[in-house]
């Protein structure tokens, strides 16, 4: 897939909660095909500390309006700098990077399990699933109700089950404690997961026990983002693979983690 390097105009920087914000970026030209699970590498200007680009998943893409949406959590110097940008600023992106989630071929119901900012690839994935006659439902976990994302972005595609560690929204506990995973029937043919590794491992074990296909999007620390530096290697049954190039999405059966 051809990669592009372009300056995008920041149309809006919307604060979602005290840690998360949503960037809306306008492409200078028609966007190429952008698939769910893929990511962009953002250049953070004007600092030696942040000379490496930062990988961020596609949250949503509007092909007609040439817009790219990115949900970002402030965790360090780079994401803090991005949080301070204003409409009208310019951001340089490399895109689209990585592989993508695969979609079931038959009409079916699937469950998307995400934790924290790991929910970021799900709106675009859900859009593609719907377009392919697949019904997505979501199981989303957050630390507390102050750190929820905009659930309307998910509810427009399917039912949302919610959990928070402290029980301030949805059911109390982690996603693994949620009653949707404890019910006697599990109506989903496939599970997708993204979030903290400990959560993804638990989700993958759950899916394995039910003999269901499970795909996880990994967030190994990256530098180049396009396969050259080998710093994002993941051990798999197919050998050591680059998360930025052969991933970030893997069938969990392939992962040695």
Ligand X SMILES: Cc1cc2nc3c(=O)[nH]c(=O)nc-3n(C[C@H](O)[C@H](O)[C@H](O)COP(=O)(O)OP(=O)(O)OC[C@H]3O[C@@H](n4cnc5c(N)ncnc54)[C@H](O)[C@@H]3O)c2cc1C
Residues in contact with ligand X by CB under 6 A are: 39, 50, 52, 54-57, 71-73, 75-79, 117, 120, 219, 221-222, 248
Rounded distance between C-alpha atoms, residue 20 and residue 164, angstroms: 16
Contact partner, 36, from ligand FES, ligand X, none, Cβ < 5-8 Å per class: none
CB 98 to ligand FES: min, Å: 9
Binder to ligand FES among 232, 241, 249, 255 (CB under 6 A)? 232
Binder to ligand FES among 112, 138, 242, 248 (CB under 6 A)? 242
Contact partner, 227, from ligand FES, ligand X, none, Cβ < 5-8 Å per class: ligand FES
Contact flag: residue 239 with ligand FES (CB under 6 A): no
Contact partner, 108, from ligand X, ligand FES, none, Cβ < 5-8 Å per class: none
Contact flag: residue 240 with ligand FES (CB under 6 A): no
Choice between 60 and 181, CB closer to ligand X: 60
Binder to ligand FES among 67, 212, 229, 254 (CB under 6 A)? 229
Choice between 10 and 223, CB closer to ligand FES: 223
Query: Which parts of 208-227 interact with ligand FES (CB under 6 A)?
Result: 222-225, 227
CB 227 to ligand FES: min, Å: 5
Contact flag: residue 141 with ligand FES (CB under 6 A): no
CB 230 to ligand FES: min, Å: 5
Contact partner, 57, from ligand FES, ligand X, none, Cβ < 5-8 Å per class: ligand X
The phi and psi torsions of 144 (rounded to 5 degrees) equal -160, 175
The phi and psi torsions of 85 (rounded to 5 degrees) equal -75, 155
Could you tell me which of 216, 165, 174 has the C-alpha nearest to residue 182? 174
Q: What angle do CA 217, 218, 222 make, to 5 degrees?
A: 130
Q: Tell me whether residue 173 is exposed, middle or buried, using C-beta atoms within 10 angstroms of its C-beta: 0 to 12, 13 to 18, 19 or more.
A: middle
Kindly report the three-state secondary structure assignment for every residue of 134-149: CEEEEEEEECCHHHCC
The phi and psi torsions of 118 (rounded to 5 degrees) equal -65, -10
Choice between 14 and 107, CB closer to ligand X: 14
Binder to ligand FES among 130, 212, 231, 254 (CB under 6 A)? 231
Say how many Å lie between the first and final Cα of the chain, rounded: 28
Choice between 49 and 177, CB closer to ligand X: 49
The residues that touch ligand FES, with contacts defined as CB under 6 A, are 222-225, 227-232, 242, 244
């Amino acid at each position: 897939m051809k990669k592009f390097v372009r300056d995008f105009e920041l149309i809006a920087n919307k604060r979602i909660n005290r840690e998360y914000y949503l960037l809306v970026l306008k492409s200078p030209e028609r966007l190429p095909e952008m698939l769910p699970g893929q990511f962009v590498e953002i250049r953070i200007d004007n600092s030696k500390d942040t000379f490496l680009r930062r990988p961020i998943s596609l949250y949503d893409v509007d092909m007609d309006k040439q817009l790219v949406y990115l949900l970002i959590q402030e965790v360090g110097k780079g994401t803090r700098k991005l949080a301070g940008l204003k409409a009208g600023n310019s951001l340089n992106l490399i895109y689209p990077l990585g592989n993508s989630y695969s979609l079931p071929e038959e009409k079916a119901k699937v469950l998307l399990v995400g934790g924290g900012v790991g929910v970021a690839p799900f709106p675009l994935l859900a859009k593609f699933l719907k377009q392919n006659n697949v019904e997505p439902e979501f199981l989303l976990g957050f630390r507390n109700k102050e750190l929820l994302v905009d659930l309307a972005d998910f509810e427009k595609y399917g039912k949302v089950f919610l959990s928070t560690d402290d029980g301030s929204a949805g059911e109390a506990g982690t996603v693994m404690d949620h009653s949707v995973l404890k019910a006697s029937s599990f109506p989903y043919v496939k599970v997708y997961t993204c979030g903290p590794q400990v959560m993804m491992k638990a989700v993958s074990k759950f899916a394995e026990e039910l003999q269901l296909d499970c795909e996880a999007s990994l967030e190994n620390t990256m530098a180049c983002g396009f396969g050259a530096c080998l710093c994002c290697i993941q051990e798999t049954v197919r050998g050591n693979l680059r998360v930025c190039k052969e991933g970030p999405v893997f069938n969990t059966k392939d992962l040695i983690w």
